[in-house]
Every structure is written in structure tokens, then in C-alpha cells.
């Protein structure tokens, strides 16, 4: 399912609107954040490990069963598109109070889907049908999208504002550790039995479900948060709210005797569309979230393009799959080190200067990839990216969480994740076209140029936005 962004993307029984305090809620909040944070970290790490282990062998399984690369690409593309489309839709019930239930049952459904693949490989003659595999992958991807959308609002509900960088960095570290261990573990298990990686994935989802269920907070934000633009739109357009009676006195919106007038079908769909688009409207109207959107979308697209450019280049020079495994291992190890160091650096550095510095430091790394000659060089350069990126990622994610109203956490996070995921999905095709028509060095140089524009944008935008104090929202502020 992933973290998120990196959902990607906490602990509060009831959100307290800005400007108000709730001593009882605050006391309860302080009794359990550490436990819930550890459980959430465990759920994220288990989920990421299982997904990495099964994800790396699924293409091998399909090819080994005799399916063409086109079929493999179709399965991957459809599953990715499913996640991108469903995320913003599922975020609405998550923000409206069903976050914990969505997370738990999504993990259960994913466990059943991957478990069915493992059983089919181990029992049913070791050759499940393409329909079975495709259905299982789509069910798992759909459940994953639901989990990720719901999980994006969890960090703000289990963490005080001052602890957000540490919580986000812990999630990043879990993802990076899974990136290092997952593919290697999946490959070893696949050599022993084709079913074992999917057994591991199913068990990882069970662990995720158990951890979510064990969290003591119900993870519900206040559904009537006045900062929610969807609520304001509904209040402004609902004819049943605030209607006057015949004698001129205000009539309550609802009463035990006379229920409110039902909305028309058109009004219902308009209200649902307004709720689903509330995250987009918030991101568009908030300079901080716009900066996060531009930065994460650009960097995700650039890294995906650079990675596939490395794949194409190494394959053209006669290297097999092992060198790319080396690149991934070095990148994952560097990313893990960067994630572990990020909380300490965040406390010592100015947020604006740190994000700007990372933005400029990525440019020479991308340009150097245009002249990279072998796996070790690629590994070192990608490792450089993954070493410095967590610092900026942790700062931006923590500020985005802190600056988003509790009742919009999942929807705003889904907008950011969908944009970043879409860029990462389109980048390989663009990288392939540039490589085929202009040479292997051109994608890296083009990415360096894009990063120059991003660095200029960030230099002016981050200094203005990140130096402002973000108002604390909800309990624990």
C-alpha cells in the first residue's frame, strides 16, 4: 500500500478547531501518541516490505507463465491508474470519520487478494489464470488506494505539531528500509517457491490490519470543521438549512418531528462533487500546498525519468538485471541514512534554506548522470539523490500536514499524491522517447534543466512560504 509519500499522506479522538482548547482531549492525546506512532510505523514498514517483495517478482511471474511483455505492462499500467483515480474519491469517507475502518478493511481485503494468488500458485497446479491474477492485482490495488487515502490523514491525528518531522521521517525510513530489503527478500523467496513472495505480502497486510486495529485512537477528525470548504459550500447552497417558518422565526435544519427536505439527485451529486473536490480547492488556494505540489510532482517525475534512462542505458551497454539491483540497493541504503538523519537536521536548519539547498544540489547530480558509465556510478549518483531528498521531503510533508485542516487531510493528501504519481507514471514514456530519438544523455540533461527551473521557483517561493509560522490545527498544538 505504501506510506505516503510518499502518502502517503495523527492521533486525535476529536479535532479541536483552531483557537479553542480541549483539556480533556489534550490529556488523552498525550497518554498514547508514542504507542500509536510506533504501531503506525510498524504498519507502514510491514506494508512496504510485503509490497516490495511481491511487486518485484510479479512481472517475473507473468513472464514465466508465458505472458508477453505487453500484458505485463498492461497489468502494471491498469493497477497504477486505478490507484490514481480512486485515491481522491475514497478520501471523502476517510475525512468524514471512517478513516480507521477504511484502513483496517482495506488491509484485510489486500491480504485476501494476495493470499488467493499464493494459494493458486501453491495448490492449483502452480498456474493461475490471467483473469485470476489480473482480478487479484486490481482488487489489491483498489484496496491499497483506499488504505493510502485514509492513512494520509493519520499522521496529523497521532502527532503533535512539533513531533511531525520525526513521525514523517520514521515513515520515510520504513519505506527506504523496505526498498533495500524487499526486492532481495522477494527474489530469494521466489527462487524457493513462486508462491512465497505472495505469502509474505499477504502476511504483511495482516500485520498492517492488526496494527491499525490496535491503535487506541479512532482517528476521526471533526466532520464539521469550519475550515472545510466543502462544508461551507454545502451550508451556503442547502435550501433546507436556515429556512424561515411562516411566522418569520428561524426553522431548525432538522428536528425529531420533521426531517429536512430531501435533496434532489442533482443536488446530491453536486454536494458529492463539492466534497470530492475540496482537497483540490484547498491546494489551489494555499501557497504552501501549491509549493509542495510543484516540488513533489517535479521531483517524482524527474527521478522516474532518470531511473528509466539508467535502465535503458545499462541495457544498451550489455548489463543485465543485477546492476539495476545494485543501483536500487545503494539508493535505498542512502535514502534510509538520509531519513534517519532528517529529524536532527530539521531541528538545526532553517526550513526554507534546507529545501532551497536540496533543490540546487540535485541539479549537478542529474547532469552528472548524462556522463555516467557503469552501475557503480549510477548507484553513487542515485544514492546522492536519495541521501539529500529526505530532508526536503520531511520538511515539506510536515508543513503540509500542519497547515491542512483536520477534516481535509486525506483529500488534500490525495491531490498531492495523485499529481506526484501521475508525473512518475508519465515520465518513463517521455524518457524512452528522448533516449530513442536523441540519445541516452539527453533525458538526464533535460531533467537537469527542469530541476534548474524548480530550484529557481523554490528559491523565491520557499523563502516566502516556509518562513511563515504555520498555525497549529487541532489538539496537540
* pLDDT tens, residue by residue, 55-73: 878 877 887 777 776 677 6
**Which band of pLDDT confidence, cut at 50, 70 and 90, is reported for residue 199?**
very high
- pLDDT at position 2 is 39
Average pLDDT over residues 412-439: 82
Q: Is the pLDDT of residue 213 over 60?
A: yes
| pLDDT at residue 173, as a whole number | 86
- Give me the helices (H) in 123-195, please: 130-151, 164-192
Rounded to the nearest 10 degrees, the angle between the axes of helix 265-276 and helix 229-237 is 160
Angle, helices 99-122 vs 33-64, to 10°: value is: 30
Question: pLDDT category, 204, cuts 50, 70, 90?
Answer: very high
**Of residues 249, 273, 305, the one with CA closest to residue 450:** 305
CA dist list (Å): 223 to 15, 35, 123, 136, 212: 9, 25, 47, 34, 21
286 or 127, which is more confident: 286
- Nearest of 373, 47, 379 to residue 205 by alpha carbon: 47
Q: Distance between terminal CA atoms of the chain?
A: 29
Name which residue leads in pLDDT, 208 or 229. 208
d(CA 305, CA 324): 15
pLDDT of res. 318: 66
pLDDT of residue 26: 40
pLDDT at position 66: 79
| 3-class state of residue 12 by DSSP | coil
Distance of CA 91 to the CA centre of its chain: 12
Query: What is the pLDDT averaged over residues 117-146?
Result: 82
Q: Give the tens place of pLDDT for each residue, 265-290.
A: 555 556 656 776 888 888 999 999 99
Query: Taking residues 143-172, what's their average pLDDT?
Result: 83
**Average pLDDT for 384-408:** 88
User: Mind listing the pLDDT tens digit for each residue in 70-121?
Assistant: 677 667 767 777 777 777 777 777 777 778 888 999 999 999 999 999 998 8
* Chain Cα centroid distance, residue 149: 8
DSSP state for residue 361 in the 8-state scheme: H
Phi and psi for 449 in degrees, rounded to 5? -65, -40
Which pLDDT value is given to residue 61? 81
- In the three-class reduction of DSSP (H, G, I as helix; E, B as strand; rest coil), residue 251 is classed as coil
Q: Is the pLDDT of residue 231 over 50?
A: no
Binned at pLDDT 50, 70 and 90, residue 34 comes out as confident
Q: Which residue carries 523565491 as its cell? A: 460
Cβ neighbour number for residue 131 with a 10 Å cutoff: 8
Residue 227 pLDDT > 70:
no
287 vs 293: CA distance, rounded Å: 10
pLDDT at 392 exceeding the cut of 90: yes
Average pLDDT score, the chain:
76
Most confident of 36-45, 58-67, 424-433: 36-45
Torsion of CA 461, 464, 468, 472, to 10 degrees: -20
**Residue with more model confidence, 16 or 131:** 131
Q: What is the torsion angle, in degrees rounded to the nearest 10, for the CA atoms of residue 26, residue 31, residue 34 and residue 36?
A: -90
Q: Return the H-helix or E-strand segment holding 57.
A: helix 33-64
Q: Sign of torsion, CA 388 390 393 394? A: negative
Query: Which 3-state string (H, E, C) describes 416-453?
Result: HHHHHHHHHHHHHHHHHHHHHHHCCHHHHHHHHHHHHH
C-alpha cell at 77: 499500467
pLDDT class of 246 with cuts at 50, 70, 90: very low
pLDDT in tens, 310-367: 877 776 776 655 666 677 778 888 888 988 888 888 888 888 999 999 999 999 999 9
Query: Do 183 and 54 touch, CB atoms closer than 8 A?
Result: no
Amino acid at each position: 500500500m505504501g506510506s505516503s509519500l510518499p502518502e502517503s499522506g495523527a492521533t486525535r479522538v476529536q479535532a479541536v478547531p483552531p483557537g479553542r482548547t480541549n483539556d480533556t482531549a489534550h490529556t488523552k492525546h498525550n497518554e498514547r501518541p508514542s504507542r500509536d506512532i510506533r504501531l503506525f510505523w510498524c504498519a507502514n514498514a510491514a506494508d512496504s516490505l510485503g509490497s516490495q517483495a511481491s511487486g518485484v517478482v510479479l512481472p517475473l511471474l507473468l513472464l514465466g507463465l508465458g505472458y508477453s511483455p505487453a500484458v505485463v505492462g498492461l497489468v502494471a499500467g491498469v493497477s497504477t491508474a486505478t490507484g490514481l483515480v480512486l485515491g481522491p474519491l475514497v478520501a471523502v469517507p476517510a475525512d468524514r470519520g471512517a478513516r480507521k475502518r477504511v484502513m483496517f478493511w482495506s488491509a484485510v481485503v489486500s491480504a485476501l487478494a494476495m493470499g488467493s494468488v499464493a494459494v493458486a500458485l501453491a495448490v492449483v497446479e502452480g498456474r493461475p489464470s490471467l483473469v485470476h491474477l489480473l482480478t487479484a492485482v486490481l482488487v489489491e490495488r483498489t484496496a491499497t488506494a483506499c488504505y493510502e487515502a485514509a492513512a494520509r490523514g493519520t499522521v496529523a491525528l497521532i502527532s503533535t505539531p512539533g513531533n511531525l518531522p520525526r513521525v514523517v521521517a520514521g515513515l520515510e525510513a520504513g519505506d527506504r528500509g523496505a526498498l533495500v530489503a524487499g526486492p532481495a527478500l522477494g527474489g530469494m523467496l521466489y527462487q524457493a517457491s513462486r508462491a512465497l513472495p505472495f505469502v509474505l505480502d499477504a502476511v504483511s497486510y495482516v500485520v498492517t490490519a492488526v496494527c491499525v486495529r490496535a491503535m487506541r485512537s479512532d482517528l476521526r477528525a471533526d466532520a464539521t470543521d469550519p475550515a472545510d470548504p466543502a462544508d461551507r459550500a454545502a451550508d451556503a447552497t442547502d435550501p433546507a438549512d436556515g429556512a424561515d417558518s411562516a411566522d418569520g422565526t428561524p426553522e431548525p435544519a432538522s428536528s425529531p418531528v420533521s426531517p429536512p427536505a430531501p435533496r434532489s439527485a442533482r443536488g446530491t451529486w453536486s454536494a458529492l462533487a463539492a466534497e470530492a473536490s475540496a482537497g483540490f480547492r484547498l491546494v489551489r488556494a494555499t501557497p504552501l500546498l501549491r509549493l509542495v505540489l510543484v516540488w513533489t510532482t517535479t521531483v517524482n517525475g524527474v527521478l522516474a525519468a532518470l531511473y528509466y534512462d539508467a535502465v535503458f542505458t545499462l541495457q544498451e551497454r550489455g548489463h543485465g538485471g543485477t546492476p539495476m539491483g545494485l543501483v536500487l540497493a545503494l539508493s535505498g541504503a542512502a535514502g534510509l541514512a538520509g531519513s534517519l538523519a532528517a529529524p536532527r537536521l530539521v531541528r538545526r536548519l532553517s526550513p526554507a534554506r534546507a529545501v532551497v539547498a536540496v533543490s540546487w544540489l540535485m541539479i549537478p547530480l542529474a547532469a552528472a548522470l548524462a556522463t555516467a558509465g557503469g552501475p557503480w556510478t549510477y548507484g553513487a549518483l542515485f544514492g546522492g539523490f536519495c541521501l539529500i531528498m529526505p530532508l526536503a521531503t520531511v520538511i515539506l510533508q510536515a508543513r503540509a500536514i500542519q497547515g491542512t485542516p483536520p477534516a481535509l487531510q486525506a483529500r488534500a493528501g490525495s491531490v498531492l499524491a495523485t499529481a506526484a504519481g501521475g508525473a512518475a507514471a508519465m515520465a518513463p514514456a517521455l524518457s524512452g522517447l528522448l533516449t530513442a530519438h536523441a540519445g541516452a544523455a539527453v533525458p538526464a540533461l533535460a531533467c537537469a534543466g527542469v530541476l534548474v527551473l524548480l530550484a529557481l521557483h523554490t528559491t523565491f517561493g520557499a523563502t516566502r512560504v516556509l518562513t511563515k509560522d504555520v498555525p497549529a490545527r487541532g489538539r496537540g498544538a
